[in-house]
């Protein structure tokens, strides 16, 4: 027998097709019981994961919607400008405030108008506690029993405006009555003690320049339909939220101040600040 015949037969035998029986075919197509159980576990785990993710996504979206609604409800059209200086005072949200005439603040001193002005001053007369002031690179504040206190500029500005209001009406009444009883006060304003009042002009000038309100004002409409005079009323402005300012002052005010008037008649310190 030749080698060709031997290898030829082996090749033919090895390449011959042996059909699979129907029982064997079913075993190949159908997974085993263990495999089916494993697949069912994976499918169940996948379904549970989808449910958990769906619930989490629902709660997260509801939370975002609630935060957005509360933000809109409390401070509509609000925004926060970035800070440049380190400060313990948080940034105050901005909102749109339309300036409208309020004759109570423009009228001469009376129990009603004085009460309105004094109501602008929070507890502590605009002073707040600042713990760990060195964290904010602040020079030392005024030391009191509970710590250091600092003046919030806004309320210093209102105090200055209140002083100017008080002396304006005193001088108006003195001129109208042709009274000489105000002479000591006038002499005091022209002397060293008047520094507290005169510094307010320059201080308020700089605060106005600092705020830099760039709102555009249009002239009011006159009875004949013409427009030429700008009075500033009914003009929208971007303002810091007064509600947020009041909340901050309530939480941090200096509670040992016995003074609640915006323009008190107290003696002055040498540096021109009114006594607490």
Cα separation, 203 vs 271, whole angstroms: 14
Q: Give residue 76's pLDDT.
A: 45
Low-confidence ranges of the chain (pLDDT < 50): 1, 3-4, 6-7, 9-14, 72-78, 266-276
For residue 72, the model assigns a pLDDT of: 46
pLDDT, residue 89, reads 93
pTM above 0.75, yes or no: no
Residue 29: what are its φ and ψ, rounded to 5°?
-75, -35
Token code pair at residue 82: 């970035």
Give the residues across from 97 on adjacent strands.
Answer: 237
Extract the tokens encoding 24.
Answer: 């064997």
Q: What region, left, alpha or beta, does residue 220 occupy, with left being phi > 0 and alpha being psi -120 to 50 degrees?
A: beta
pLDDT at residue number 69: 56
pLDDT at 179: 76
Which two tokens mark 79? 């925004």
Rounded to whole angstroms, the Cα distance separating 150 from 131 reads 10
Distance CA 217, CA 230 (A): 7
Supply the pLDDT for residue 26.
54
Angle at 268 between CA 263 and CA 269, to 5 degrees: 135
What local confidence, expressed as pLDDT, does residue 254 receive?
82
Q: How far, in Å, CA of 219 to CA of 229, rounded?
A: 5
pLDDT tens, position by position, 246-263: 999 999 988 766 566 776
Q: How many CB atoms sit inside 10 A of residue 158's CB?
A: 17
For tokens 């605060």, the residue is 207
Q: Which residue has the tokens 């002055």?
A: 268
180/186 Cα distance (integer angstroms): 10
**For residue 15, what is the DSSP state?**
T
């Amino acid at each position: 027998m030749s080698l060709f015949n031997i290898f030829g037969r082996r090749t033919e035998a090895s390449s011959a097709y042996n059909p699979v029986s129907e029982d064997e075919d079913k075993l190949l197509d159908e997974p085993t019981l263990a495999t089916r159980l494993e697949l069912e576990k994976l499918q169940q785990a996948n379904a549970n994961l989808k449910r958990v993710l769906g619930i989490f996504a629902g709660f997260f979206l509801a939370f975002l919607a609630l935060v957005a609604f509360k933000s809109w409800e409390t401070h509509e059209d609000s925004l926060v400008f970035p800070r440049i200086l380190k400060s313990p005072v948080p940034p105050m949200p901005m909102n749109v405030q339309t300036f409208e005439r309020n004759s109570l603040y423009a009228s001469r001193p009376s129990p009603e108008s004085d009460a309105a002005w004094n109501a602008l001053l929070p507890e502590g007369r605009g002073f707040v506690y600042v713990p760990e002031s060195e964290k904010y690179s602040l020079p030392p504040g005024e030391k009191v029993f509970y710590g250091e206190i600092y003046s919030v500029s806004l309320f210093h500005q209102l105090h200055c405006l209140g002083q100017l209001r008080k002396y304006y009406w005193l001088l108006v009444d003195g001129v109208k009555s042709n009274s000489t009883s105000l002479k000591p006060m006038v002499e005091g304003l022209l002397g060293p003690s008047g520094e507290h009042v005169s510094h307010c002009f320059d201080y308020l000038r700089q605060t106005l320049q600092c705020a830099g309100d760039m709102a555009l004002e249009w002239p009011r409409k006159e009875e004949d339909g013409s427009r030429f005079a700008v009075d500033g009323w009914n003009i929208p402005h971007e303002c810091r939220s007064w509600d947020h300012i009041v909340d901050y002052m309530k939480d941090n005010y200096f509670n040992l101040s016995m003074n609640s008037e915006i323009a008190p008649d107290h003696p002055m310190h040498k540096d021109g600040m009114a006594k607490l």
